[in-house]
């Protein structure tokens, strides 16, 4: 009896917390019809927000994938002074409010910041511009690739890599042909988590972007702007599109596991 009660309570919680909100967003988006919802996406500011979110996400995922792999490799394969400090720094974005990280970037690169006046002389704009949005998103999404790849690298060990080095392989050959094939599942998971997080980042981007419509408004910021302007259909349509993109990334994360289970059943 206890098992069924726990099962029912778990499903009820999931339905209320995870399933109901997306359904409500979709319902509000379509309350005036599909045509009216799709028409809101043709607005130039909406298209600019979608395109900017896409660009920021692509750059963020690429950079965090490269440096996440290298950071995980260094932390797992080597023991050196400051290793624990480096690991703490990598996980720092998980414990700091994104708003605080956005304020730090303003402190560094804002007009009254440490480097802002110098950059202004060279006509380089980071705060309230796309580079600042990328930096803020990079910070909040940094840990995901590292944290998903590290446990698998630890299980993988060093025997195969040492054998490759003894056979004459260089650093990049070992990394590409020996290390990465063994962690590709975890790497895919980390990349998709980074993608989902980058798509929906609001706090840090809100502080550092300046909320300039058509220039520095990502999709989450544009949703807030539309909702505050009482454009509920447009706001919920954009929110539904953003939720669909993020959920697709999360579902793709589970695809390899589903494929493996299907192959096991066929076997």
Name all domains of the chain by residue range, CATH numbers in brackets.
Answer: 31-265 (1.10.3720.10)
CB neighbour list of residue 182: distance below 8 Å, 6 or more residues apart: 152, 153, 156, 160
258: enclosing H helix or E strand: helix 232-266
What SS3 state is found at 140?
helix
pLDDT in tens, 117-154: 888 888 888 888 899 999 999 999 999 999 999 888 88
How many Å from the N-terminal Cα to the C-terminal Cα in the chain? 36
CB 208 within 8 A of CB 128: yes
pLDDT in tens, 21-51: 888 888 888 888 889 888 999 999 999 999 9
What CA–CA distance (Å, rounded) separates 98 from 23? 27
What CA–CA distance (Å, rounded) separates 44 from 213? 9
- The answer to whether residue 161 scores a pLDDT higher than 80 is no
CB neighbour list of residue 134: distance below 8 Å, 6 or more residues apart: 56, 59, 60
- The predicted pLDDT at position 263 comes to 64
């Amino acid at each position: 009896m206890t098992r069924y009660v726990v099962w029912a309570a778990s499903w009820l919680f999931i339905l209320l917390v995870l399933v109901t909100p997306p359904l409500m967003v979709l319902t509000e988006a379509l309350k005036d019809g599909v045509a009216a919802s799709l028409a809101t996406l043709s607005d130039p500011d909406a298209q600019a927000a979608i395109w900017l979110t896409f660009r920021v996400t692509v750059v963020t995922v690429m950079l965090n994938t490269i440096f996440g792999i290298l950071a995980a490799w260094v932390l797992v394969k080597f023991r050196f002074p400051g290793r624990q400090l480096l690991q703490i720094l990598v996980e720092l974005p998980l414990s700091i409010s994104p708003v605080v990280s956005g304020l730090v970037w303003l402190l560094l690169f804002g007009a009254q910041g440490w480097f802002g006046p110098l950059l202004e002389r060279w006509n380089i704009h980071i705060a309230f511009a796309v580079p600042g949005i990328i930096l803020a998103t990079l910070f909040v999404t940094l840990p995901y690739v590292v944290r998903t790849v590290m446990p698998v690298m630890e299980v993988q060990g060093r025997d195969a890599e040492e054998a490759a080095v003894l056979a004459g392989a260089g650093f990049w050959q070992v990394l590409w042909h020996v290390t990465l094939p063994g962690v590709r599942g975890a790497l895919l998971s980390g990349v998709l988590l980074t993608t989902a997080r980058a798509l929906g980042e609001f706090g840090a981007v809100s502080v550092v972007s300046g909320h300039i419509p058509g220039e520095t408004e990502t999709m989450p910021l544009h949703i807030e702007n539309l909702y505050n302007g009482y454009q509920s259909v447009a706001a919920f349509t954009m929110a539904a599109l953003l939720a669909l993109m993020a959920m697709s990334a999360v579902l793709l994360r589970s695809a390899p596991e589903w494929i493996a289970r299907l192959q096991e059943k066929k076997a």
